[in-house]
């Protein structure tokens, strides 16, 4: 523990001891003065703070100040009742208020107590309660706004985390303040009760000890009023500070500056009116002439000074830059060179889907897309930039990757997309269309047809789900284009935190960052997850010294990930596949041409076309019975056959024997031959 922590802990223990141990009158006077100074400090801090988070300890500070004040109150009560003396401070405060008139002094004291309890404490308690409730109710909306700013690229991940933390701190602060105001209220009630006890108990003690009634009244009411003031004035200061804290709205300055700016500086013309009215009343009525004339002159002078200051601020020289000069700045040209990784452009009719204020949740869905792809493929998806494009049809949207349009679709804002999963019965009315993500036939139906479609067995989805699904499939399909060297460095740095030895061995001693990036891109191109980066890097470390052929390294990694690949494509330990005839495999192996820049397949066009045609026939036979077509080849042939079939379709799954676990039963249901 630091020295300051020890002092604070001992101070709180000392406050508790004050309640139990009698305190000498001299020391009691010092502690009462410290209490007044502490309360004044709390008031000034609440006035000059700009944000409540700057005084996040305020609720705890209220509790400590209240306990300290009550402990002193108990000590002064003990001294009053036992010794008829509570020190010079209490006696001085009593004499100052009473002024040789017990009734007037006691009434003034009661007025102070009533103001402190009913006006300030009750009001602060209510404001704190409402502020806590509103802050908690506003938390979900603020969180959604942060997610929206994050998805649109207005803030970074670090700024989003800070904002979320601040929102939680605001909620904690106002919740604590709601409870802390109960301390202040209880303190005010305790002060009233202690005053009554001091008066009654003091009179009884004085009379029983032989004092006359007048003498007992003079002595104990004087001490009671003094004690009450010494405790109620700090309580009044702390209650005022509490009210200032919970009633302060959003501001970039302190309370004093805000009062001057908003009451006088921003309303300087009103000061002229107030001054003129005061002078008019002084001249035309029986009110004190010189008083009203002086006050009116002061208001008019303040208005003149404030108005003059505002004009000087407005006339400050500002460097005006013409629009042409602004455009000539090099940084403005550099901004135009930036190309966003992923863009989603919406027609103006679809803007409500992305507008949180209009109930749109597309931004939240994009956040979930990024999380989903991170879990499935291990890829950190870049920020998806949302833009409106007036050149598009109202219901149209397009998806761009690296500034190039890769897909588009059309949705109807107030409709639902109904798709027949193959088991639907009955016809529904709607606009014929094609589902954009998978190209399935579908219909756009109205709200009134939705329930009917669901009863018939149609799959019904809303417009944001259509766009989100389409965007997800596009990102998965183009994942290999989205991963760059900077992204790979981020992934490697993440592995370095727990497995530094693996990273230090491979990068950059064995392979460069670019070579690792090409391997990861090859894996993503065939929808193989790169989430298990440790296994991938260990495999590259094992074979990186043997070969630097990126394609060959990719095959080694795939074979090491055989457990993942088997789990992805195999069900019930059985795999139905299409195999290659030995003649086809032999032709492909003989046609592999290795060069310094990589290996290529050099097949004669007619042979390549025959292989593709026969492959297509075998695939169609398998899809006709509702099975997923998977082609199984020898390890050395797999990559080149996959590249060959990409001329026909990119969706065909090609695996090698080494990528399937030995426990899987492989059944050949077709063969590709010449």
Tens of pLDDT, residue by residue over 521-535, are 999 999 999 999 999
672 pLDDT band, cuts 50/70/90, is very high
628: Cβ contacts below 8 Å, ≥ 6 apart: 569, 622, 653
Distance from C-alpha of 111 to C-alpha of 211, rounded to nearest angstrom: 29
Report which of 198, 243, 242, 255 is spatially closest to residue 65, judged by C-alpha positions: 242
- H helices of 285-329, in order, are 289-314, 323-328
Residues 630-637, mean pLDDT to the nearest whole number: 94
315 pLDDT band, cuts 50/70/90, is low
Q: Are 446 and 435 in contact (CB under 8 A)?
A: no
CA atoms within 13 A on the CB side of 44: 6
* The pLDDT value given to residue 250: 47
pLDDT tens string 77-124? 777 777 777 777 777 766 666 565 667 666 777 777 777 667 666 766
Lowest mean pLDDT among 213-227, 399-413, 517-531: 213-227
Phi, psi of 578 (to 5 degrees): -105, 130
| Residue 465: cis peptide before it, omega within 30 degrees of 0 | no
* The pLDDT value given to residue 318: 46
Domain 483-560 in CATH 1.10.760.10? The answer is: no
The domain segmentation of the chain, as residue ranges, is 14-252, 259-312, 336-478, 483-560, 569-674
Distance from C-alpha of 421 to C-alpha of 418, rounded to nearest angstrom: 10
CA angle 646, 650, 655 (to 5 degrees): 85
**If DSSP codes are grouped into helix, strand and coil, which group holds residue 495?**
helix
342 pLDDT band, cuts 50/70/90, is very high
554 pLDDT band, cuts 50/70/90, is very high
* The pLDDT value given to residue 600: 82
pLDDT tens string 443-483? 999 999 999 999 999 999 999 999 999 999 999 999 999 99
Residues 298-321, mean pLDDT to the nearest whole number: 66
Residues 588-606, mean pLDDT to the nearest whole number: 85
Residue 45 burial (C-beta neighbours within 10 Å; 0-12, 13-18, 19+): middle
* The pLDDT value given to residue 320: 47
pLDDT at 373 over 70: yes
Bridge-based pairing of strands 598-601 and 592-595 is: antiparallel
pLDDT at 360 over 90: no
- H helices of 378-512, in order, are 447-456, 463-477, 479-482, 485-496, 500-506
* The pLDDT value given to residue 321: 46
* The pLDDT value given to residue 404: 94
Higher pLDDT, 228 or 297: 297
The H or E element that residue 387 is part of is strand 384-388
What's this model's pTM, rounded to 2 decimal places?
A: 0.56
Higher pLDDT, 160 or 331: 160
* The pLDDT value given to residue 581: 92
pLDDT, mean over the chain = 82
pLDDT at 353 over 80: yes
* The pLDDT value given to residue 2: 64
Higher pLDDT, 443 or 12: 443
Residues 60-70, mean pLDDT to the nearest whole number: 82
Fold of 569-674: Rossmann fold (3.40.50)
Higher pLDDT, 15 or 148: 15
pLDDT tens string 127-184? 677 777 777 777 777 777 777 777 666 777 788 888 888 888 877 777 777 777 777 6
Residues 372-380, mean pLDDT to the nearest whole number: 92
Cβ-based neighbour number of residue 207 at 10 Å:
14
Lowest mean pLDDT among 293-307, 488-502, 533-547: 293-307
Percent of the chain with pLDDT over 90: 36
Distance from C-alpha of 435 to C-alpha of 468, rounded to nearest angstrom: 12
* The pLDDT value given to residue 633: 95
Angle between helix axes 102-114 and 88-98 (nearest 10 degrees) is 100
234 pLDDT band, cuts 50/70/90, is confident
CA angle 563, 566, 570 (to 5 degrees): 150
pLDDT at 316 over 60: no
* The pLDDT value given to residue 97: 61
Handedness of CA 600, 602, 607, 608 (dihedral sign): positive
- Please determine whether the domains at 336-478 and 569-674 fall in the same fold group of CATH: no
* The pLDDT value given to residue 563: 94
Residues 23-42, mean pLDDT to the nearest whole number: 83
Residues 41-47, mean pLDDT to the nearest whole number: 81
User: Which listed CATH number (3.40.1360.10, 3.40.30.60, 3.50.50.60, 1.10.287.70) goes with 336-478?
Assistant: 3.40.30.60
Residues 231-244, mean pLDDT to the nearest whole number: 76
Range with top average pLDDT, 237-251, 279-293, 609-623: 609-623
pLDDT at 314 over 60: no
């Amino acid at each position: 523990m630091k020295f300051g922590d020890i002092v604070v802990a001992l101070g709180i223990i000392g406050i508790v001891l004050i309640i139990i141990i009698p305190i000498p009158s001299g020391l009691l006077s010092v502690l009462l003065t410290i209490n007044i100074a502490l309360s004044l400090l709390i008031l000034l801090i609440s006035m000059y703070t700009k944000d409540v988070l700057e005084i996040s300890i305020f609720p705890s500070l209220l509790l400590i100040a209240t306990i300290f004040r009550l402990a002193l109150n108990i000590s002064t009560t003990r001294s009053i009742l036992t010794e008829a003396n509570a020190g010079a401070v209490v006696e001085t405060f009593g004499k100052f208020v009473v002024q040789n008139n017990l009734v007037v002094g006691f009434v003034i004291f009661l007025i102070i107590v009533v103001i402190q309890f009913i006006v300030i404490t009750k009001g602060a308690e209510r404001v704190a309660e409402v502020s806590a409730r509103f802050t908690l109710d506003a938390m979900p909306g603020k969180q959604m706004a942060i997610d929206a700013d994050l998805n649109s690229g207005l803030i970074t991940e670090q700024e989003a985390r800070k904002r979320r933390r601040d929102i939680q701190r605001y909620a904690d602060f106002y919740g604590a303040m709601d409870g802390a105001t109960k301390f202040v209220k209880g303190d005010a009630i305790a002060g009233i009760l202690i005053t009554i006890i001091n008066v009654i108990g003091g009179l009884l003690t004085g009379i029983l000890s032989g004092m006359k009634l007048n003498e007992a009244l003079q002595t104990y009411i004087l001490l009671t009023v003094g004690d009450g003031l010494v405790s109620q004035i700090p309580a009044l200061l702390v209650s005022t500070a509490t009210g200032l804290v919970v009633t302060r709205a959003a501001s970039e300055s302190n309370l004093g500056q805000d009062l001057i700016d908003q009451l006088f500086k921003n309303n300087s013309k009103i000061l002229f009116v107030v001054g003129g009215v005061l002078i008019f009343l002084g001249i035309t009525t029986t009110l004190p002439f010189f008083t009203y004339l002086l006050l009116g002159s002061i208001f008019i002078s303040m208005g003149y000074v404030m108005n003059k200051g505002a004009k000087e601020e407005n006339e400050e020289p500002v460097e005006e830059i013409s629009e042409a000069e602004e455009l000539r700045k090099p940084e403005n040209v550099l901004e135009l060179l930036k190309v966003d990784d992923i863009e989603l452009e919406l027609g103006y009719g679809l803007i409500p889907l992305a507008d949180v204020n209009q109930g749109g949740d597309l931004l939240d869905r994009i956040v979930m897309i990024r999380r989903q792809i991170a879990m499935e493929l291990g890829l950190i998806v870049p920020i998806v930039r949302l833009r409106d494009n007036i050149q598009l049809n109202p219901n149209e949207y397009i998806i761009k990757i690296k500034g190039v349009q890769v897909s588009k679709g059309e949705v109807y804002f107030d409709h639902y997309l109904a798709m027949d999963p193959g088991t639907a019965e009955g016809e529904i009315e709607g606009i014929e269309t094609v589902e954009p993500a998978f190209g399935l036939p579908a219909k756009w139906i109205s709200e009134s047809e939705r329930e009917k479609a669901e009863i018939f067995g149609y799959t019904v989805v809303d417009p944001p789900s259509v766009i989100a699904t389409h965007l997800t499939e596009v990102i998965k399909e183009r994942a290999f284009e989205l991963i760059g060297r900077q992204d790979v460095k981020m992934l490697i740095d993440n592995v370095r935190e727990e497995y530094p030895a693996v990273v230090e061995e491979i990068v950059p001693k064995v392979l460069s960052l670019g070579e690792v990036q090409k391997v990861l891109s090859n894996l993503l191109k065939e929808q193989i997850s790169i989430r298990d980066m440790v296994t991938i890097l260990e495999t590259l470390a094992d074979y990186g010294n043997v070969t630097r052929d990126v394609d060959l390294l990719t095959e080694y990694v795939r074979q090491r990930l055989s457990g993942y690949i088997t789990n992805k494509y195999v069900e019930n330990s059985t795999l139905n596949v299409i195999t290659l005839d030995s003649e086809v495999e032999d032709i492909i192996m003989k046609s592999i041409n290795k060069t310094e820049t990589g290996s290529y397949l050099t097949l004669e066009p007619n042979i390549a076309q025959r292989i593709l045609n026969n492959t297509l026939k075998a695939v169609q036979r398998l899809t006709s019975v509702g099975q997923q077509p998977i082609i199984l080849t020898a390890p050395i042939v797999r990559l080149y056959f996959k590249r060959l079939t990409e001329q026909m379709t990119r969706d065909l799954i090609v695996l090698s024997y080494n990528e399937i676990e030995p426990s899987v039963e492989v059944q050949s249901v077709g063969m590709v031959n010449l």
